[in-house]
A and B are shown apart, each in its own frame.
Chain A
Amino acid sequence: MGFELKDIAEKIESGERLSKEDGLKCLKSNDLLSLGLMADSVRKRKTGDIVTFVGNHHICYSNICINSCDYCSFGRKTDDPDAFTLTLDQIRAEAIESKKGTVPEILFMGSIHPDFFLEFFKEAIKIIKSEVPEIKILAFSPVEIDHFAKQEKVSVNEILRCLKTTGLSAITGGGAEIFSQRVRKELGCENKISGDRWLEIMEAAHLEGIASNASMLYGFIETDEERIDHLIALRGLQDKTKGFTHFLPFAFAWRNLPSPAGYDDLKMLAASRLMLDNFNHIRSYWCHLGLELAQVSLLFGADDLNGLKQKGRIIHSSGAVESQFVKRERMIDVIKRARRIPRERDVLFNLID
């Protein structure tokens, strides 16, 4: 093992928390396999050999968005020719459609729409729940919650409570991007809620009993330090609330910047696994990595391969190839061939038989 990773390895072995400097060393090191071995040992300790995935269905209600983040090509203005918005009836139809598969999760998502109000979404959630009562609904991110609170002129807690009573199980970690204000400016999403606000809303959600995931957008313009700071901020909140189900780093391609290389993806996963000692699960995004490398990432700390269906359009906007779908059998085969145990899960990481 490279000399620079020796003391980190010792800390990992004794279960000691890694410091910011340790995290930076991990990202700086090019000893990819040693990072993998360390991350893999942590993974084994935490989750054993089970690799989870989720059968999911997406309902995307609209692409009309008031924000215009530079890196996003998903959002449209109301009068764009390809702008769309689903009606409640269409949402009901989608919910019925989801019953065709064994789907434990519906991801209900869209943009920050100027004329939709909380009432509409409550109605939509009720409809979905009435069609498929056993389903867990994952919807909205802190960005939307913040937006609703402003629209309705009430506190985020109130919004969260109300959505929870309606049937919401979890919110997504969307809008976290990377907390560094400098990078947010450069990405042109400084109008989106700040990193601090994101954390605040997540804390509120967790305290209301709504789970969520945590994510980080990484690529080429942030420094190693900004990456690690982001992880440490998440770790801090997780200490307090234990509300994050998992963490996923995802790479983005932006303008003419090259997309991160395989090394960077695997290193980022390993560093996340090592830094986030209070997260149970690390998820790898096969849509970005390709299924082959995603399989390999199971050796670099990941233990979840997420959905059979990826939320194509939005991922696409952040630079991924295209909307993608993988068959259940293929997913199971890929996991087995990594000599791990495939299990389907729901949004809260309960295993499903």
Chain B
Amino acid sequence: MDKNLIEVSDRIERGERLSEENGIKLLESSDLLSLGRLADFVRRNKAGDEVYFIANKHLYYTNVCVWRCKFCAFSRNLNDSDSYTKTIEDLILEVKNSENGLSELRITGGINPKLSFEFFENLIFSLKSAFPYLHIEAFAPTEIDFIALSSGLSVEDVLIRLKKAGLGSLAAGGAEVFSPRIRREFCPKKTSGKRWLEITKTAHQMGVCSNASLLYGLTETVEERIDHLIEVRNLQDETGGFNSFIPLPFLPENTKLFSFSGSTGFDILKMIAVSRLMLDNFKHIKFLWIYGGLKLGQTALSFGANDLGGTVIEENKGVARSAGAKNFGFTTREELIRTIKRADRIPFERGVLYQARN
């Protein structure tokens, strides 16, 4: 084992919380297999052998966005020829066409000033009325921020009303890296990291849970990555409202950042392992298999991951695809189950709150 890992490894064995310095050592190590073993050890104790996945559908209500983050290939300007904003009827139809076996809708979109609070409220209400048995996970904290600002309502009121309309939980997204330096460079208009955490905390306190993520592979330093994880960990200590953590590799294809080489398989597995090791108060570390394929996803199960995301049924202009995910598309329930079993683990189809599906 890399000798820089020995101290950290002892701490992990004793079940101690890792410090920022420990985290940095982990990220700097090139001994990926040892990191994997440590993460796998923690995963086994904390989360057992089940591997979770969900039958879900992603809905994007608009790709018009006035924030235009540099790493985003999904968003468009209002008058771009391929911009779209969907009507509620369209969205309902979209779900109807692929409803079979779904348990969750995941609804997100760009920051489109043309949309009023009533639209968002109606959207949730109509979908929930049309599909009462589907859990609705909608809007990242950034979208909530925008909805509150543009409607003049407080974040609390926005959440209360959306919850009443049928909102089940908040979507992951907009967390990116909290570092102000990185946000200034790549997404200056976006909700700040601090604000993101505040909104998330408010939601958690109201019983609306959510997911945390980290977009990595831009120009952030190892410290910035670890600090992000620690912020997330602190909030989780306070609220316990995060269901899972999702490290998201930045994939430069299709974005304006061509010069980036993006995240490689090494980075992806390492970030999963480090997330597992740092986030001692998270049970679920998720590898979204669309970001690297099922083969890599299966491998990630040995590096700390215990969730593979969805049997994603995604439309053409989804965010993951726009951010360059190559294995875009959907996989079947059978294929996911087989993949998990062949890694000697137990497939577990979950609901949004990690409950078993009946």
Contacts and interface: CB of A to CB of B under 8 A. Distances in A.
B266 A290 contact: no
A34 B326 CA distance: 30
A326 interface: no
Nearest to A288: B295
Nearest to A37: B33
A337 to B, nearest CB: 5
Contacts of A295: 264-266
B143 interface: no
B343 A290 contact: no
Interface string B300-321: 0010000000000000000000
Interface in A1-45: 30, 32-34, 36-37, 40
Nearest to B30: A339
Main secondary structure of the interface of A (DSSP, over half): helix
A290 B264 contact: no
Contacts of A299: 32-33
A219 to B, nearest CB: 13
Interface stretch (A169-177, A261-269, A304-312): A261-269
A327 to B, nearest CB: 11
A333 B269 CA distance: 17
A292 B293 contact: yes
A96 interface: no
Contact of A292 (B30, B36, B292, B342): B292
Contacts of B281: none
B142 interface: no
A289 interface: yes
A32 B344 CA distance: 10
Contacts of B224: none
A50 to B, nearest CB: 15
A264 B342 contact: yes
A30 B296 contact: no
B339 A261 contact: yes
- Does more than half of chain B's interface fall in helix, strand or loop, or is it mixed? helix
B295 A289 contact: yes
A295 B32 CA distance: 12
B296 A330 contact: no
Given A37-B33, A289-B295, A293-B299, A263 B343 contact: yes
A205 to B, nearest CB: 34
B37 A33 contact: yes
B294 interface: yes
A37 B335 CA distance: 28
B335 A296 contact: no
A262 B295 contact: yes
Interface string A202-246: 000000000000000000000000000000000000000000000
A300 to B, nearest CB: 9
A289 B296 CA distance: 9
Contacts of B293: 290, 292-293
A334 B32 contact: no
Contacts of B30: 338-339
Contacts of A296: 32, 265-266, 269, 296, 299
Interface in B250-286: 261, 264-269
Given A37-B33, A292-B293, A293-B293, A258 B338 contact: yes
A291 interface: yes
B295 A293 contact: yes
A174 B268 CA distance: 34
A291 B264 CA distance: 8
Contacts of B326: 290
A261 B343 CA distance: 9
Interface in B336-350: 338-339, 342-344
A258 B341 CA distance: 14
B324 to A, nearest CB: 12
Nearest to A259: B295
Given A33-B37, A292-B293, A263 B298 contact: yes
Contacts of A333: 261, 264
Interface in A267-303: 289-296, 299
Given A290-B326, A337-B266, 20 more contacts: A32-B343, A33-B36, A40-B33, A261-B338, A261-B339, A262-B297, A262-B299, A263-B343, A290-B292, A291-B264, A292-B264, A295-B265, A295-B266, A296-B32, A296-B265, A299-B33, A330-B261, A334-B264, A337-B264, A338-B30
Interface of A: 30, 32-34, 36-37, 40, 258, 261-266, 289-296, 299, 330, 333-334, 337-339
Interface of B: 30, 32-34, 36-37, 40, 261, 264-269, 292-299, 302, 326, 335, 338-339, 342-344
**4 A-B pairs closest in CB distance:** A292-B265, A262-B295, A30-B344, A339-B30
21 contacts: A32-B299, A32-B302, A33-B40, A37-B37, A261-B294, A261-B338, A263-B299, A265-B295, A290-B265, A290-B293, A290-B296, A290-B326, A292-B264, A293-B265, A293-B293, A293-B295, A296-B265, A337-B264, A337-B266, A338-B264, A339-B30
